Amino acid sequence: MAAQNFPCSFLRAAVRGFAHSPAVAAPVTAEQMAEKLREQKKPKAVPEVPKDRVLRRVQEYVQQTRCFQKLHPNVLAKVLKKGILYTNKDIVVINKPYGLPVHGGPGVKTCITDVLPVLAKMLDGMKAEPLHLCHRLDKETTGVMVLAKDEMIAHRVQEMFKTRQVEKKYWAICIGKPEPEEGIVDIPIMEKKVDSHQSHFKMTLAPNYRLSLEDKKLRKVRRNRDAQLAVTRYRVLSSWSTCSVLELEPITGVKHQIRVHLAYGLGCPILGDHKYSHWSKLAPQKLSQGTLKKLGLEQVKARYLPLHLHACKLTLPPINSNEEEKIHLLCKPPIFFKLSLKRLKLEFSESEQKEMKTD
């Protein structure tokens, strides 16, 4: 009787849905329904929070990386806005968080590129043009990142990067200590396939000279056509026992240049660089017992260590002809970086300590 109050189309749709419902083929018994309700009422397992402060931080950064992929673009734009280091009529400079990719790719749901239109509107109103990328940082790298407010400015800044007018400096905590303590690594880099049980690609060195196994003399080799010139200046700021902290200035801008030059050129991979700590396999970085003890970690937890590479300083030449002064940008390292410095007893000079405290 009551069904007469519903439109016929609604009834037909309901009948079709019921006819194709799994419940028709296999009716749910009262016992099954009660079991389902009991399962729903069971408290969900809460991940155990480690008592150790370092392990808590490790867990937090793993969760943060996963969380970025679930955030709504508006929420992520607010996170980036909160981390703005500098802005003027031409550019916006952000402090890129750890674990946030710049571009999209396999398995990437949210990246910085996706939220640039939203961030622009938050800063300059609904009619603002989307912000433009001027350069890129790796997903695991933190620090200074420049965005342009229009396409013309973006091209201008990009050209400055290409012609090496921009001064960039990074801090990295490394395993071991390079000898000499200051120098230049000038070795070309190329991408190469690694043939192992899990085939993959990595950037690697493509030197112009090789040591002959027969007479131990250097032999100049033919330059690989896929190799790119790569030059990195480095300087040890502090060292203690098994680790050191370096200031790095990439003269060129090849993909993963700093990571490859440190790991394969100087034999001092960056702490938390699981990709370039081995060549023939994809595995967590192997740390010495001394390093693990200082960090308060077990080797099985080392896989969660974040990459300790931070873009700390960037100097831009005048962007417009009416400007005379360079723009000097500083960015203090993230908390996990500072904690590792403290644990490993790596100390900066007074000038660097002041920069670390700069907001």
Active site residues: 138
Residues 6+ apart with CB under 8 A from 225: none
**Whole-number Å distance between alpha carbons of 135 and 96:** 12
Cβ–Cβ < 8 Å for 307, 140: yes
Determine how β-strand 189-194 pairs with β-strand 200-205: antiparallel
SS3 327: strand
Contact between 211 and 224 (Cβ < 8 Å): no
Question: Quick one: the chain helix, strand, coil %, rounded to 5?
Answer: 35, 25, 45
User: Using CA atoms, how far apart are residues 211 and 220, in angstroms rounded to an integer?
Assistant: 9
Nearest to 98 by CA among 143, 55, 133, 56: 143
Query: 3-state class of 299 per DSSP?
Result: helix
Q: Could you give the maximum distance between any two Cα atoms of the chain, in Å?
A: 101
Tokens of 263: 């790991």
How far apart CA 190 and CA 168 sit, in angstroms, is: 22
Rounded-to-integer distance, Cα 326 and Cα 204, Å: 35
Which pair of tokens denotes residue 250?
A: 């990439």
Contact (Cβ atoms closer than 8 angstroms) between residue 126 and residue 143: no
